[in-house]
Amino acid sequence: MGARTQDDVETLRQAVRRNLAATLRYLGHHGYQYGLAGHATVRDPGEDERYWVNPAGVPFAAVRPADLVLVDAAGEIVAGDHGVSGFQSQLEVHRARPDLVAGLHVHSEHTFAWSSAGGLLDPLTTDSAWLQPVQALRDSFDQPITDAIGQTARVVIQRSHGAVAFGATVAEAAFYLVSVERAARTQLLLEAAGRAQRIDPALLEKWRLTPEAAHRQFQGVLDHWVAVEEGTA
pLDDT digits (tens, 9 = 90+) for 66-106: 999 999 999 999 999 999 998 999 999 999 999 999 999 99
In angstroms, the CA 56 to CA 50 distance is 18
Which uninterrupted H or E stretch holds 185? helix 170-193
Query: What percent of the chain stands above pLDDT 90?
Result: 86
Between 117 and 134, the more confident residue is: 134
The shares of helix, strand and coil residues in the chain, as percent rounded to the nearest 5, are 45, 15, 40
- Asked if residue 90 lies in contact with residue 62, where contact means CB atoms within 8 angstroms, the answer is no
pLDDT band (50, 70, 90) for residue 47:
confident
Q: Can you give the residue ranges of every domain in the chain?
A: 6-224
pLDDT digits 0-9 by tens, 126-178? 889 999 999 999 999 999 999 999 999 999 999 999 999 999 999 999 999 99
Could you tell me which of 57, 51, 55 has the C-alpha nearest to residue 91?
51
Chain-wide mean pLDDT for the chain? 94
The predicted structure's pLDDT at residue 2: 58
Question: What CATH number does domain 6-224 carry, 3.40.225.10, 3.60.21.10, 3.40.50.2300, 2.70.98.60?
Answer: 3.40.225.10
Which uninterrupted H or E stretch holds 18? helix 6-29
Q: Considering only 18-32, 46-60, 194-208, which range has the smallest mean pLDDT?
A: 194-208
Question: What pTM was estimated for this model as a whole?
Answer: 0.95
Radius of gyration of the chain, Cα coordinates, nearest whole angstrom: 18
- Spell out the long-range contacts of 74-79 with Cβ–Cβ below 8 A and sequence spacing 24 or more: 78/50
Angle at 228 between CA 42 and CA 183, to 5 degrees: 55
Query: What percent of the chain stands above pLDDT 70?
Result: 99
